[in-house]
Amino acid sequence: MSEYILVTGGAGYIGSHTVIELINNGYKVVVVDNLCNSSYDAIARVEFITKQKVDFFDVDLRDLESLNKVFDKFPIKGVIHFAALKAVGESTKIPLAYYDNNIGGTITLLTAMQKHEVKTIVFSSSATVYGDATRFENMIPIPEHCPNDPTNPYGKTKFMIEHILKDIYGADNQWQTAILRYFNPIGAHPSGLLGEDPLGIPNNLLPYLAQVAIGRREKLSIFGNDYDSHDGTPIRDYIHVVDLAKGHIAALNYLKNLNGGLYREWNLGTGNGSTVFDVYHAFCKAVGKELPYEVVGRRGGDVLNLTANATRANTELKWEAKLTIEDACKDLWKWTTENPFGFNIDNYEWKVFSDDKEDYRNRLHTVKYDNFEVSFANRGAIIQKIVKNGINVVCGFDEPSRYIEKSNPFFGTTVGRVANRIGHSKFELNGKTYTLESNESSNTLHGGLDGYDKQYFFGPVAKQFKKDDKIINTFEFNYVDKDGHNGFPGDVECTIKYTVDDSSVAIEFVGEHLKDSPVEETIINLTNHSYFNISNTKSTDGTVIKAITNKQLEVNDELLPTGKFVPTHTDITKPTTLSADCAFDYCFVVDGNGSGIDTRDSELKQVIEATHPNSNIKFIAETTDPSFQLYTGIGINTPGFEPRSGFCIENARFVDAINHKEWANQVIVKKGQSYGSKVKYSFV
């Protein structure tokens, strides 16, 4: 069984990278972080990357009571302790805050650990504890036995915490304590999803240079080029943050294999020094252009060379840094260009969307434009709200608990594994018959009893970019649907990517049949079940729709397709006014030939437009899919809403396609393949 590791400060730069490595190495992770200098988005992205739940608590380490509750809740085996304030310059200006946060927080953490008999800790220390190692002869590269003499409050907090840990081990030598002294962490996660997100003016070389590269800072200042190095600039030991993160796993595994306790320090560095110019050139190469810099005078306290002797970690922990400063520069540049303002997107905010205010699984994410606003939530990756010109144009609940009620008619949700009906809850694939649970008479509707509407999607990865001077926001959610869930074969990763601009929401549906899946083929059919209503009243009656087609799938008494296409009761290619007497719940056929499995590269086709005399909003739905279910909400029966409170345009593959040989290829996905489609809802 995998072990729980508590990571303090797990939402931070090194913390979040370490959480990923922990998960990659089979650990379960609980993060506590007070987010004073970090963002929960980092955790959401870790979950998105790893597809693993990370239990998170917004707890200040100095709050013993809350911390004890976390220890009570999980069988924690060890702690990796990052949480700290970490800016050297700031520490000289507000030292008490540093002592309070770093030492006070550590004392509380250790108190909670003692209470819960957790005696394994990996501590995030710093090469800063050595101070100026050049004061000695023969201490460069710096070995762990180099005497300590930190020269600033930040470094002193690390030094003092090392002593506290040493004394605790002295009193109880069952403690397993790994002190990891970092040299200069740089770089970002190769996914481009995680990196350093410094507040204010960056203190460190590369984050500063990255801001120069994207135009947020004018030029880099190089403090002195008259040192005794190959190019005159000082030499430091820069280590890729992913290598550094892996050092923690090495330390943790080392402790795990011990019989008994230990207190020991390890340098985490590459053992190789690079000058400021070396790093500058590497980054310029990653960016593809020369960046402006200026050589200014030496900075007080700087010395020629602070390179690590990393031999102890190399030999004892069997760990060594493998990535180069070129790797780090490339990853940093990817992170910077894809997240120019770090995690902070100015028109996006989120809040917990659950009756349990500590439940970060379900959050409500809102992106705002001047006259347009869209909210998503993690459960079902739903669209909870779309507000156009002050009018809410989709059905949704303000109370999270309403979504869990049985009467919720799939408001706004992602639908899967297979949208719409599967006849008699049964299908054959590769000679095997799969039987599902029936949740609508004898059929399986919208994926079954535990469909995607009930799943908590990871993410979102929220990003913003400009295109043709338009601000565009994207929100990516994902969810892994394992083989056998709801009776479906195959492991499928479902990714829902919303793209929002100032008047539309587009959705990209991807269902990847994962390479490691236990079956060769599976079936996927995804859609979104938003109920639209542009009437500015509780009813869509009076809405005038006009569709691309009048052709629907003929259905039998069991609401299953017969295989034929028939015209609908009213010609909706002409303006048609919705009412109790003019209602629809049919699958309209945009392309009678169906589609390939991934339609994302097809052009979006406008399939419906709608207006209502009460508002001046025009609704347009476009999709790459071969059909859409037009459902005018006659069955809505949940408090606060009436029948016909909204209409749905469920872009998808043909209903029950798997049970119709000529349609089945619309939904069958081979291992390694991806299902894909797009829809776009515009409000103009």
Q: Which of 24, 39, 74, 107 binds its own copies (CB under 8 A)?
A: 107
Q: Which of 3, 58, 63, 100 binds its own copies (CB under 8 A)?
A: 100
Identify which range of 101-109, 204-212, 344-352, 616-624 contacts its own copies by CB under 8 A: 101-109
Rounded CA-CA distance 656/669 in Å is: 15
The H or E element that residue 284 is part of is helix 276-287
Smaller CB distance to its own copies: residue 97 or 472?
97
Binding of residue 171 to its own copies (CB under 8 A)? yes
Smaller CB distance to its own copies: residue 79 or 630?
79
Identify which range of 103-111, 202-210, 236-244, 480-488 contacts its own copies by CB under 8 A: 103-111
Residues 125-164, mask of contacts with its own copies (x by CB under 8 A): ----------------------------x--x---x--xx
Binding of residue 92 to its own copies (CB under 8 A)? yes
One DSSP character per residue, 401-426 reads: GGGGSTT---TT-EE-SB-SEEGGGE
Q: How far is the CB of 159 from its own copies (least distance, A)?
A: 9
For helices 13-24 and 40-50, the axis angle rounded to 10 degrees is: 20
CB–CB of 52/23 below 8 Å? yes
Q: How far is the CB of 262 from its own copies (least distance, A)?
A: 17
Q: How far is the CB of 165 from its own copies (least distance, A)?
A: 9
Binding of residue 2 to its own copies (CB under 8 A)? no
Smaller CB distance to its own copies: residue 94 or 404?
94
Pick the catalytic residue: 81, 248, 446, 529? 529
Q: How far is the CB of 357 from its own copies (least distance, A)?
A: 23
CB–CB of 544/663 below 8 Å? no
Identify which range of 93-101, 329-337, 476-484, 554-562 contacts its own copies by CB under 8 A: 93-101
Binding of residue 261 to its own copies (CB under 8 A)? no
Is 529 one of the catalytic residues? yes
Rounded CA-CA distance 626/550 in Å is: 14
Q: How far is the CB of 126 from its own copies (least distance, A)?
A: 16
Smaller CB distance to its own copies: residue 16 or 128?
128
Beta strands in 107-261 (DSSP E): 120-126, 176-182, 184-186, 220-223, 235-236, 238-240
Binding of residue 170 to its own copies (CB under 8 A)? yes
Smaller CB distance to its own copies: residue 102 or 229?
102
Identify which range of 99-107, 356-364, 637-645, 669-677 contacts its own copies by CB under 8 A: 99-107
**Amino acid residing at 444:** T
Smaller CB distance to its own copies: residue 160 or 295?
160
Q: How many CB atoms within 10 Å of residue 662?
A: 11
CB–CB of 420/659 below 8 Å? no
Residue length of the chain: 684
Helix, strand, coil % (nearest 5) of the chain?
25, 30, 45
Q: What SS3 string covers 621-653?
A: EEECCCEEEEECCCCCCCCCCCCCCCEEEEEEC
Rounded CA-CA distance 19/7 in Å is: 7
Binding of residue 262 to its own copies (CB under 8 A)? no
Number of residues engaging its own copies in binding (CB under 8 A): 24
Smaller CB distance to its own copies: residue 30 or 168?
168
Identify which range of 86-94, 250-258, 325-333, 498-506 contacts its own copies by CB under 8 A: 86-94
Instruction: Give CA separation, 490 vs 229, 426, 513, 515, in Å.
Output: 58, 16, 7, 10
Binding of residue 61 to its own copies (CB under 8 A)? no
Identify which range of 87-95, 189-197, 348-356, 584-592 contacts its own copies by CB under 8 A: 87-95
The H or E element that residue 32 is part of is strand 28-32
Neighbour-count burial of 424, counting CB atoms closer than 10 A to its CB (0-12 exposed, 13-18 middle, 19+ buried): middle
Tokens 């030496």 -> residue: 298
Smaller CB distance to its own copies: residue 173 or 407?
173
Residue 494, token pair as written in the block:
């479902």
Rounded CA-CA distance 133/128 in Å is: 10
Binding of residue 301 to its own copies (CB under 8 A)? no
Binding of residue 89 to its own copies (CB under 8 A)? no
Strands 527-528 and 521-523: unpaired
Give the binding site for its own copies (CB under 8 A): 91-96, 99-100, 103-104, 107-108, 110-111, 114, 153, 156, 160, 163-164, 167-168, 170-171
Q: Please give the positions annotated as active site.
A: 529
